[in-house]
Amino acid sequence: MKVNSKNDTIRLLRPENKEGVIIRKEYYLEIVKFLLATIEKRHDNGISLNDMLDEVNQDDSLKTPGRDIFWIILQVKQDLEARGVIKTLWVCGRIQFIHINRKKWNSFLLSV
């Protein structure tokens, strides 16, 4: 995780360890906390991407004027996948189910 100490930003990872976008670390941590808590509510069943985005739509705390929250959520989701914190399973080739990778989750929490 690359953090720029000058303005406290973070460069997200993309699949295959490519570099992604840069966002404020504080905002990144808010989104990570929200995503992991939302997945946790579903216990071991995971959550579909559609249900996850519905939860985002109902929560005004993450929305910021001028920002596409759904795009940012997908960027952070891809970052967590690249870090191995979450796993996405495809059902019927179209539906994404998101699960927490418990082994990586604890070490990730210690690193942020």
Helix crossing, 25-41 with 49-58: angle to 10°?
120
Please state the domain extents for the chain: 2-111
Summarize pLDDT for 72-104 with one digit per residue, the tens: 999 999 999 999 999 998 888 788 899 988 777
| CATH class given for the domain over 2-111 | mainly alpha
Nearest-angstrom CA–CA distance, 46 and 38 = 9
**Is the distance from CB of 64 to CB of 75 less than 8 angstroms?**
no
Q: Is the pTM of this model over 0.85?
A: no
Summarize pLDDT for 26-77 with one digit per residue, the tens: 999 999 999 988 988 876 678 999 999 999 888 888 777 777 889 999 999 9
Residue showing tokens 């690193």: 111
Nearest-angstrom CA–CA distance, 97 and 50 = 9
